[in-house]
Amino acid sequence: MTNESKLPRDVNVLLVTVTEVEGRAVLEEVKSQVSKDLPQGATSPKTIEFGNNTYFDLGSIGGKRTFMVQSEMGAGGPSGSAATVTEAIEVLSPSAVIMVGIAFGVDEQKQRIGNILVSRQLELYELQRVGSGSTGELQIILRGDRPSASPRLLNMFRASHLKWPESAPKVKFGQLLSGAKLIDNQDFRDQLQSFAPEAIGGEMEGEGIYAAAHRAKVDWIVVKAICDWADGKKNEDKAERQKEAAKNSTRFVMHTLRQGGFYRRNKDNFEFTGKDKIAFCNHLGDSWQNLATYFEIPIYVQSRFRQGEEAREIWAWLQNRQKLAELPEALEYIERSDLAAMLMGY
């Protein structure tokens, strides 16, 4: 059992998986694609048991400290996604929660197994009003929330998509159905789709991710790939299709993590030491001009910077305006992830 004192102080990204095939896809991708980012001497992600959860320390992926946790199927219950993520946020304080895994598609003509679905919005279908119409027919009205994914994460994934190879699995942003039912009946799927005609697919745990992250004011998004059509044929090539879908969604998430921009924005939890300042000033070098441009420091202010002391001058400018918390993300943007990681203690 791990002591709380041994847990990392700040985690940038928490990945959430459910099934074994989803968890294995993440671990295999880390080992095969980003093993160079693991802590020195590490051969595989470290497992940490704390509270009710088991966490996987994936190390620094693209300069972002990344953990993974697994929940049980569905949003509810003591081990569902809501409870699991609520506890994980309390323990790790991530700035972003990303659910990665498998989903069902809704249009076999336009979609393909392995296509990646990114939640622009969720349609929570479990809360319903079931009544009768004017002629006594069954009438169902959805009354659940339609939460939108965090704008910051949505923008990051959209930007990442522009750098996603055209030959790679197709990515679609849109509305995802989310509820507790494991759907494998086309009539029921079509009924749900009639309530949400813009839906591009569906899954079971997004509602819990949204509820936990929203209450904690943490950014969230759901990224899953199609493994079946919820049409009564779920068992056809099940293992192969699930493995393909889990691998594709994981690859896109990792691709996005490597683009940068996942540093914490909570200024209250963001304090740099004197050693951090020295490291920044000693290593920024000629990148100071791009950094000054990023922060839109006026030219007349830049002209007053002492030659050779530009990094120190920028630090003071940011400190006076309470903008130091934005420094790691800015360094990522100007392609100085090495310095951003140094400041974050990786």
pLDDT(57) > 80: yes
Place of tokens 């020195």: 40
Contact 169/248 with Cβ under 8 angstroms? yes
Number of domains present in the structure of the chain: 2
Look up residue 50 and give its amino acid.
Answer: F
Mean pLDDT of the chain: 87
Report the CATH number at residue 334: 1.10.533
| Domain, as residue range, for 243 | 4-257
pLDDT digits (tens, 9 = 90+) for 106-149: 999 999 999 999 999 999 987 777 887 778 777 777 777 789 99
User: 280 and 247: one domain?
Assistant: no
The residue from 222, 257, 292 where one domain ends is 257
**pLDDT at residue 88, rounded to an integer:** 94
Q: Which of 257, 288, 316 is the last residue of a domain?
A: 257
**pLDDT mean over 29-46:** 62
Residue 345, pLDDT score: 55
Query: In terms of domains, do 174 and 82 share one?
Result: yes
Number of C-beta neighbours around residue 170 at 10 A: 15
Distance, first Cα to last Cα, the chain? 23
Give the mean model confidence (pLDDT) for residues 33-60: 73
At residue 10, the pLDDT reads 65
Is residue 264 a part of any domain in this protein?
no
pLDDT higher than threshold 60 for residue 36 = no
Q: Which domain-ending residue is among 201, 230, 257?
A: 257
What is the predicted pLDDT for the residue at 1? 44
In order, the DSSP letters of 71-90 are --SSS-STTSHHHHHHHHHH
Q: Which two tokens stand for residue 76?
A: 């509810």
Q: What gap in Å lies between CA 122 and CA 175, rounded to an integer?
A: 5
Is residue 238 located within the same domain as residue 339?
no
pLDDT of residue 33: 62
What CATH number is given to the structural domain containing 196?
Answer: 3.40.50.1580
For position 136, what pLDDT does the model report?
76
- Read off the pLDDT band of 39 (50, 70, 90): very low
Q: Cα 217 from chain centroid? A: 14
Are residues 252 and 295 both part of a single domain?
no
- Does residue 263 form part of some domain? no
pLDDT of residue 133: 78
Kindly report the backbone phi and psi dihedral angles of residue 340, in degrees, each rounded to the nearest multiple of 5, phi listed first.
-60, -45
Query: Is the same domain home to 155 and 77?
Result: yes
